Amino acid sequence: GIQVEQSPPDLILQEGANSTLRCNFSDSVNNLQWFHQNPWGQLINLFYIPSGTKQNGRLSATTVATERYSLLYISSSQTTDSGVYFCAVGRGAQKLVFGQGTRLTINP
Amino acid sequence: EADIYQTPRYLVIGTGKKITLECSQTMGHDKMYWYQQDPGMELHLIHYSYGVNSTEKGDLSSESTVSRIRTEHFPLTLESARPSHTSQYLCASRGQQNYGYTFGSGTRLTVV
């Protein structure tokens, strides 16, 4: 099956800093999503981005499908950005496979 | 934004009890999924359904069972809860045209 690897596993930053999270995957996919899991366990869909670039406020994501990676950018971090960020991929009707997550901590 | 609902949000029960975790969606999605997750860890698929009367086991072995009698409803049942079942359970759905998944808020289960 498809393997998903996220880096870094942990990231600690000061408020206002920028960050880049990476997701590598082992096979071609046509579904890639980035999720943010908040401290209450809720999984929030950030981007559905099997290819290309998208932006939503301070967050943006880029997927280079031919090179099998995706990047999530967070600019001007806020404490509410803290939590675990998951990348998940799938192909066709196959099930979504999750990476192990990046735990982001934003200190005030 | 998400029209997928899970109840209860938190549940503490004794060993040996039978429980049902509810999941409903109002988006008319055919595909629904149950994931199990220990706090802060990766998600593991335990059950999925591609439509009414269709259910399959996922990648992670689970003692739970599911049913899909109506498109909008995908409950998960544990016949006899054990402390090893303590975890968070997340329900998700997706439609035909858009492969993106939408998740419910989850049920955090503690078996004592």
Residue type, A58: R
Gap between the Cα atoms of B62 and B58, Å rounded = 8
Decide if B101 and A41 are in contact by the 8 Å CB cutoff: no
Average pLDDT rounded to a whole number, residues B54-67: 90
Q: Which of A104, A55, A99 is nearest to A80 (CA)?
A: A104
Average pLDDT rounded to a whole number, residues B88-101: 83
Average pLDDT, chain B: 91
| pLDDT score, position A41 | 87
Q: Is the dihedral of CA A65, B40, B103, A53 positive or negative?
A: negative
* Domain architecture of chain A: domains with CATH: 4-107 (2.60.40.10)
Give the angle subtended at the CA of B46 by the CAs of B26 and B62, to the nearest 5°. Answer: 130
pLDDT of residue B78 exceeding 70, the answer is yes
Tell me whether B108 touches chain A (CB under 8 Å). Answer: yes
Number of neighbouring beta carbons within 10 Å of residue A1 = 10
Which of A33, A84, A99 is opposite residue B101, by nearest beta carbon? A33
Domain spans in chain B, listed from the N-terminal domain onward: 4-111
The larger pLDDT score, comparing residue B3 to residue B111, is at B111
Average pLDDT rounded to a whole number, residues B7-36: 95
pLDDT of residue A101 exceeding 80, the answer is yes
pLDDT of residue B58 exceeding 80, the answer is yes
B41 chain-A contacts, CB cut-off 8 A: 100-101
Please tell me the distance in Å from A41's CA to the nearest CA on chain B. 7
B2 confidence band (pLDDT: 50, 70, 90) = low
| pLDDT score, position A81 | 96
Gap between the Cα atoms of B7 and A62, Å rounded = 35
Q: Is the dihedral of CA B28, B32, B34, B35 positive or negative?
A: negative
Say if residues B37 and B44 touch (Cβ distance below 8 Å).
Answer: yes
The larger pLDDT score, comparing residue A94 to residue A66, is at A66
Which of B42, B58, B100 is opposite residue A100, by nearest beta carbon? B42
Strand partners, A3: none
Please tell me the distance in Å from A66's CA to the nearest CA on chain B. 19
Gap between the Cα atoms of A59 and A83, Å rounded = 14
B39 chain-A contacts, CB cut-off 8 A: 41
Gap between the Cα atoms of A10 and A33, Å rounded = 19
Please tell me the distance in Å from B79's CA to the nearest CA on chain A. 25
Output the CATH code of domain B4-111: 2.60.40.10
A80 confidence band (pLDDT: 50, 70, 90) = very high
Q: Count CB pairs under 8 A between chains A and B.
A: 58
Say if residues A25 and A100 touch (Cβ distance below 8 Å).
Answer: no
Q: Which has the minimum average pLDDT: A33-37, A73-77, B27-31, B64-68? A: B27-31
Say if residues A106 and A77 touch (Cβ distance below 8 Å).
Answer: yes
| pLDDT score, position B31 | 92
Say if residues A25 and A106 touch (Cβ distance below 8 Å).
Answer: no
| β-strands A69-74, A19-25 pairing | antiparallel
Express each pLDDT in A11-22 by its tens digit: 999 999 999 999
pLDDT of residue A92 exceeding 90, the answer is no
Query: What does R_g of chain A's alpha carbons equal in angstroms?
Result: 13
